[in-house]
Amino acid sequence: MNRIDQKFKENKKLLSIYFSAGYPNLNDTIPILNSLQASGVDMVEIGLPFSDPLADGPTIQKSSTKALQNGMTTETLFNQLENIRGHINIPLVLMGYFNPIMQYGIEKFCKRCQATGIDGLIIPDLPVDVYHKEYKDLFVQYNLYNMFLITPQTPDSRIHYIDEVSNGFIYMVSSSSVTGAKSTIGDIQMDYFNRISEMNLKTPTIVGFGISNKETYNASIIHSKGVIIGSAFIKFLEEKGVQKIDDFIKSIRS
Amino acid sequence: MNYNVDEKGYYGDFGGAFIPEMLYPNVTELKENYLKISSEPEFKKEFDDLLKSYVGRPTPLYFAKRLSEKYKTKIYLKREDLCHTGAHKVNNTIGQILLAKRLGKNRIIAETGAGQHGVATATVCALMGIECIVYMGEHDIKRQAPNVARMKMLGAEVRSAQSGSKTLKDATNEAIRDWINNPVNTHYIIGSVVGPHPYPDMVARFQSIISQEIKWQLQELEGRDYPDHLIACVGGGSNAAGLYYHYLNDKRVNIIAVEAAGKGVNSGKSAATSALGKEGVIHGSKTLLMQTPDGQITEPYSISAGLDYPGVGPMHAHLYRSKRAEFFSIADQEAMDWGLTLSQMEGIIPAIETAHAFAILDTRKFGLDEVIVFNCSGRGDKDLDTYINYFKL
C-alpha cells in the first residue's frame, strides 16, 4: 500500500510540512527530514526549486532562488535522497513546477521517484485534464500518486472530476491567493471547508496556503484530514535554523 | 497543416494552458467568452470606431522608394509606428479593455518590459476610467524612466517586480500572482501572444487588424491582395502574429521572423529563442524557451528591451518547427545600424525592435521586384537615449 494511503488511514489529524530542497543550505535536505520525522510530522512535501514559481508568494520565491544559487538541481536532490528509506518512514511528496520535470524527462523522473521511495507528486502547473490524458498511465506504472489543488472558486463539477482522477489526497487551498499570504481562517474559509466536506469525496482533503500557527491549524482540521504548512516553516528556518525545528512543530501541535 | 489555434488551444505541439488550479476559473471564463463577445456586432463596432478615431487606423502601407531602389525589390512598410502611443501594442489593449468591461471587471493588471505595453494599457484604462496596475521589473523601471513617467501621468500604478531577475519574465510572474490573488474583479491584459490559451489566440486576433488592412491596401497598390514576403521582429511575437494572421494558410506568402541575437547567438547574451530554446513551459504555455539543462528559465539579452523575452509565442514555435516561417536572428550592432539607415533613407526613426526586422535586407537575398511588407511596428522615440549613447549623437 502507498505510504500516503496508510497514513491517511490513521485515526488522527495530519500535519504536513513543505520546504524548499537546498534551503537554507544545499545539504540541509536530510537533516531537515530527520528533524521533521523526529518531531512527529506526518508527511513532508519536498519542494523542487524553480526559477519562476508563479503560484508562490515572496517567502517561497526567495527560498527557491536561494536553493538554486546554492546549486540545487533535480539530479542533486535525487542523489541526496538516495538512501532515505533506510531511516525515513513517513510519506514523502515531491512538489515542483512542470518545466524542470519535463526537462529531466517525465518517465525518467517517475522511475527515479519510485527507486528513491517517493510516494507522490504535486505539480501545480500541470492541469488535471492534461495529466489525466497524457501522464496518468505513467504515474500508475511507477506507483506514484499525483495530488491536485482545489480553491474556493473551483466549480463543483470540476471538484468531482478532480476527486475521480485523484489518489492520495486533495490539496484544499484555503483562499484565493498565492502561498504565504497572511491570512486567518474566518467564516468564509470555514463555510468553504464545510461545503467540500459535505460533498463526501472519495479522496481525503487537507488544507494548505495561509496556515501559519496553532490557531489556523486548529480551525483548518475541523473539516479536513489535516494541513500543510510551507511559508511559515521556511520563515522559521530562516530565523531560527534547522536545529530548532522541533520548537516550530510543538508551537503548531503539542 | 493548420497554423491557427486548434479547438484545444494548441498550435501543433505548442500552446495549451499549463496553469495552477487557482487560475482555472479566470482562464476558463475568458476561454468561454472571448470569441462570443468579440464577434458581437456591438463589440465590433466599438472596437472599429476606437481603432479609427482614437488609435488612428487604418495605418498607411507606405512604399519605401529609396530602400526599394537600393535592394531592387518592392518594399512596403506597414506603419504601426503611427498608432497612438507609438506602436501596435494599443490594438490589443483596446480589444482587451472592451472585453474586460463586458466581463464586468473593474480592475486591470498588466506586465511590461520596456514599458510600451504598460503605456498602451494605462492609456486604455484612462480612456475607460478603470483602475490600472502595471507590473514592471525593478531593473526595467530604472532603464525605462520615461515610460514609467508616462504610465504615472496616465493614472496607472506601477509596481516593481522584485523577484528573480527583476525584468519582464518576473513582471509577468507578478501579474499572474496578482491575478491568483484577485480572481473575481480583475482582468489581466497580457501584451503579447504568450500565456495560457486563449491569450495567444485572443491577442493575435486583436492584432490581426494589421494583415486585414494590408490585404485591401495591397490590392489598391499592387493589384493583388498578398505580398511575396512578410517580415517582422519577434520577441513574444504580437506584431508578427498580427502581420501574418490573414496569410498564415496562404502558401503564396513567405513568412520571415527576425529574433534578437543580442551580442551573438552563441555569446551567452542573446534572445534568439528559436536557435537557443528548447520545448518547455513558461507562463502557462508550452513553447520554445531559453533554459538551463535543469529546466530553469534563463535571462535573455538584447539591446532592445521589447525583444528580450526568454520564450516565444506558441504560434511562432509552431511556425518554426513546421518550417512554415524562416527564422533569422540579428545582432545588436546590425539592428542599431539599421535604425540609422531607415532614419536617413526614409525619414522614419524606428524602435530598435523594429530595426531588427529591416536588417534582414543585408542578410537574405530577395528576388527582383518581389513585394515585401515589413511591419514597422514601433517608433524610436522611446529609444532615443539608447541611440544617443550608442551613436554619441
Given CB atoms, is A150 within the 8 Å cutoff of chain B?
A: yes
The whole-angstrom separation of Cα B211 and Cα B202 is 15
Catalytic residues of A: 45, 56
CA nearest neighbour of B343 among B316, B383, B373: B383
Chain A: closest CA distance from residue B22 (Å): 6
Task: Give the Å distances, CA to CA, from B311 to A180, A182, B245, B350.
Answer: 28, 33, 20, 24
Chain B: closest CA distance from residue A207 (Å): 14
CA nearest neighbour of B165 among B290, B33, B315, B328: B290
pLDDT of residue B1: 84
> Which of chain B's residues have a Cβ under 8 Å away from the Cβ of A56?
177
Catalytic residue among B111, B174, B213, B353: B111
Which pLDDT tens digit goes with each residue over A5-16? 999 999 999 999
Q: Which amino acid, one-letter code, is at B232?
A: A
- As a whole number, mean pLDDT of residues A39-53 equals 97
CB spacing of B296 vs A176 below 8 angstroms? no
pLDDT of residue B190: 98
Judged against a pLDDT cut of 80, whether residue A183 lies above it is answered with no
Mutation choice for B interface testing from A97, A99, A109 by most B CBs within 10 A: A99
pLDDT of residue B155: 98
> Which of chain A's residues have a Cβ under 8 Å away from the Cβ of B17?
127
Which pLDDT tens digit goes with each residue over B26-54? 999 999 999 999 999 999 999 999 999 99
Task: Give the Å distances, CA to CA, from A109 to A75, A194, B122, B331.
Answer: 10, 36, 44, 38
Neighbouring residues of B307: CB distance < 8 A, sequence distance ≥ 6: B233, B234, B235, B259, B260, B271, B353, B356
Q: Which phi and psi angles does B261 have, rounded to 5°?
A: -80, -10
Cβ distance B171 to B218 under 8 Å? Answer: no
Given CB atoms, is A73 within the 8 Å cutoff of chain B?
A: yes
pLDDT of residue B379: 96
The whole-angstrom separation of Cα A157 and Cα A150 is 12
Chain B: closest CA distance from residue A88 (Å): 27
The whole-angstrom separation of Cα B182 and Cα B204 is 25
Cβ distance B344 to B315 under 8 Å? Answer: no
Which pLDDT tens digit goes with each residue over A16-29? 999 999 999 999 99
Task: Give the Å distances, CA to CA, from B85 to A80, B42, B97, B122, B284.
Answer: 54, 25, 16, 10, 28
C-alpha torsion angle, residues B90, A52, B237, B270 (rounded to 10):
120
CA nearest neighbour of B358 among B367, B245, B348: B348
The whole-angstrom separation of Cα B281 and Cα A127 is 12
pLDDT of residue A254: 78
CATH number corresponding to A13-253: 3.20.20.70
Spell out the per-residue pLDDT of chain B, length 393, in tens: 899 999 999 999 999 999 999 999 999 999 999 999 999 999 999 999 999 999 999 999 999 999 999 999 999 999 999 999 999 999 999 999 999 999 999 999 999 998 999 999 999 999 999 999 999 999 889 888 899 999 999 999 999 998 877 889 999 999 999 999 999 999 999 999 999 999 999 999 999 999 999 999 999 999 999 999 999 999 999 999 999 999 999 999 999 999 999 999 999 999 999 999 999 999 999 999 999 999 999 999 999 988 989 999 999 999 999 999 999 999 999 999 999 999 999 999 999 999 999 999 999 999 998 999 999 999 999 999 999 999 999
Given CB atoms, is B8 within the 8 Å cutoff of chain A?
A: no
The whole-angstrom separation of Cα B260 and Cα B307 is 6
Q: What is the 3-state secondary structure (H, E, C) of chain A?
A: CCHHHHHHHCCCCEEEEEEECCCCCHHHHHHHHHHHHHCCCCEEEEEECCCCCCCCCHHHHHHHHHHHHCCCCHHHHHHHCCCHHHCCCCCEEEEECHHHHHHHCHHHHHHHHHHHCCCEEECCCCCHHHHHHHHHHHHHHCCCEEEEEECCCCCHHHHHHHHHHCCCCEEEECCCCCCCCCCCCCHHHHHHHHHHHCCCCCCCEEEECCCCCHHHHHHHCCCCCEEEECHHHHHHHHHHCHHHHHHHHHHHCC
- Establish whether B238 is a catalytic residue: no
CB atoms within 10 A of CB A245: 23
Strand order of the sheet with strand B131-137? B157-161, B131-137, B107-112, B186-189
Task: Report how far Cα B76 is from the mean position of its chain's Cα atoms.
Answer: 20
Judged against a pLDDT cut of 90, whether residue A70 lies above it is answered with yes
The whole-angstrom separation of Cα B79 and Cα B61 is 6
Task: Give the Å distances, CA to CA, from B14 to A136, B30, B285.
Answer: 20, 19, 7
CB atoms within 10 A of CB A161: 16
pTM of the model: 0.97
Greater pLDDT, B338 or A184:
B338
Q: What is the ipTM of this complex?
A: 0.95
Chain A: closest CA distance from residue B87 (Å): 29
Task: Report how far Cα A156 is from the mean position of its chain's Cα atoms.
Answer: 23
Partner residues linked to B276 by β-bridges? none
pLDDT of residue A185: 87
Cβ distance B298 to B292 under 8 Å? Answer: yes
Given the C-alpha cell 508550452, which residue does it identify?
B286
CB spacing of B182 vs A176 below 8 angstroms? yes
Which pLDDT tens digit goes with each residue over A111-156? 999 999 999 999 999 999 999 999 999 999 999 999 999 999 999 9
Task: Report how far Cα A186 is from the mean position of its chain's Cα atoms.
Answer: 23
| Omega before residue B58 within 30° of 0, cis | yes
Its sign, for the CA torsion A95, B11, A159, A164, is negative
pLDDT of residue A105: 98
HSE (CB half, 13 Å, CA atoms) of B266? Answer: 0
Q: Which amino acid, one-letter code, is at B202?
A: M
